[in-house]
């Protein structure tokens, strides 16, 4: 005799004699969504196809580039990888190192701050959260002059983290990476029952052990989301990096690619497009690796 699980495992059969829904009614109910989705996909893919087409065009200008993939050549990619003794690869490596280190440090600092605000009760907790939220109203771009003068002062005292160093740039990034990220993690930490913490503390675990061995594995989705968003922001950041990094061999991808088209007589948009396509590869790979965490990490913190 078949059990309930056998019936649940088999999908219900559709009656072939059942009357199908008229096309007009189906389009009004559901069909229009397909058109909107297709239009959104085309709108998102068209700029990407334009940049890829320009990178494969050996002319080096945007003249006639409205005809997508009219020419196919890898000369731009070869040129950007070999020019100036591989300066592009140096920029690439600098951008990856700075972005990876800054993202990992941002995730760790934000997780520690969110855990403290979520699980500990101390004087100034609410005002601290409010202060972090207010500080996010003033982006780092407004403080470039102050940051530059501060880095000059630090260079005279401790040159290892001063002006023109990757360590100094990472510290500046970390100074403005908190705030909204802590709020996202704070909401996620609040969804985890406090009974888990109390059971671990009864067994003798302290805050450090609870945080690293219990809480971090449970909040992996939001860690992945914060890491991905931070990496995207750091690898494409231009304003602060262009002020603090003065040596061309220490600069990042965003600054280097800008220099390829900043000259009035030396604008080569084909090479610029090739460099932009190569620069997008780490972000695409990281997005594909973390995509299963993104949806859960963004919405789980909004439900208590």
Burial of 44 (0-12, 13-18, 19+ CB in 10 A): exposed
Is 288's pLDDT higher than 80? yes
What is the CA 182 to chain-centroid distance, rounded?
15
Name residue, tokens 């080569």. 268
| Other Cβ atoms within 10 Å of 118 Cβ, number | 20
Torsion of CA 273, 274, 279, 285, to 10 degrees: 110
pLDDT by residue (tens digit) across 89-117? Answer: 999 999 999 999 999 999 999 999 888 88
Best CA proximity match to 151, nearest among 243, 253, 248, 236: 243
- Does residue 139 register a pLDDT over 50? yes
Among 137-146, 194-203, 250-259, the range of highest mean pLDDT? 250-259
126 alpha-carbon distance from chain centroid? 28
> Is residue 4's pLDDT more than 50?
no
Cβ contacts of residue 173 below 8 Å, gap of 6+? 98, 102, 106, 234, 237, 240
The confidence score (pLDDT) of residue 282 equals: 92
Could you report the per-residue pLDDT of 42-78, keeping only the tens digit for each?
A: 998 988 888 888 888 887 666 655 677 777 888 889 9
Report whether pLDDT(256) > 80: yes
Look up the CATH superfamily of 85-302.
MetI-like (1.10.3720.10)
pLDDT band at 15 (very low <50, low <70, confident <90, very high): low
Contacts of 137 (CB under 8 A, 6+ apart): none
- pTM over 0.85? The answer is no
| Lowest-pLDDT choice from 13-22, 153-162, 243-252 | 13-22
Predicted local confidence at residue 123, as pLDDT = 84
DSSP label at 303?
-
**Maximum separation of any 2 CA atoms in the chain, in Å:** 85
Residue 101 CB coordination number (10 Å): 16
CA distances from 215 to 195, 209, 300 (A): 12, 9, 15
Domain definitions of the chain by residue range: 22-73, 85-302
Q: Residue 35: is its pLDDT beyond 80?
A: yes
Question: Do 214 and 197 meet the contact criterion of CB atoms below 8 Å apart?
Answer: yes
- Rounded mean pLDDT of 191-210? 84
User: CA 186 to CA 304: how far, in whole Å?
Assistant: 11
């Amino acid at each position: 005799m078949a059990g309930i699980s056998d019936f649940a495992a088999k999908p219900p059969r559709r009656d072939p004699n059942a009357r199908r829904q008229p096309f007009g009614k189906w389009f009004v109910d559901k069909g229009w969504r397909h058109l909107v989705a297709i239009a959104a996909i085309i709108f998102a893919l068209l700029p990407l196809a334009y940049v890829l087409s320009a990178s494969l065009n050996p002319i080096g200008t945007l003249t006639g580039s409205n005809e997508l993939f009219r020419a196919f050549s890898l000369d731009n990619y070869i040129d950007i990888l070999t020019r100036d003794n591989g300066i592009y690869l140096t920029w690439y490596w600098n951008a990856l190192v700075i972005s990876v280190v800054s993202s990992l440090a941002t995730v760790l600092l934000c997780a520690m701050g969110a855990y403290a605000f979520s699980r500990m009760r101390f004087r100034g907790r609410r005002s601290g959260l409010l202060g972090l939220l207010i500080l996010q109203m003033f982006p780092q771009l407004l403080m470039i002059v102050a940051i530059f003068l501060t880095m000059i002062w630090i260079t005279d005292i401790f040159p290892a983290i001063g002006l023109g160093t990757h360590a100094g740039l990472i510290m500046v990034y970390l100074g403005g990476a908190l705030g909204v990220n802590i709020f996202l993690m704070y909401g996620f930490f609040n969804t985890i029952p406090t009974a888990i913490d109390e059971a671990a503390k009864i067994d003798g675990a302290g805050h450090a052990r609870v945080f690293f061995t219990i809480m971090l594995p449970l909040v992996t989705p939001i860690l992945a989301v914060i890491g991905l968003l931070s990496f995207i922001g750091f690898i494409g950041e231009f304003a602060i990096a262009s002020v603090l990094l003065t040596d061309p061999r220490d600069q990042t991808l965003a600054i280097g690619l800008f220099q390829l088209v900043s000259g009035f007589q030396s604008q080569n948009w084909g090479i610029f497009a090739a460099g932009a396509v190569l620069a997008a590869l780490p972000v695409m790979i990281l997005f594909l690796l973390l995509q299963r965490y993104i949806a859960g990490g963004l919405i789980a913190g909004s439900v208590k």
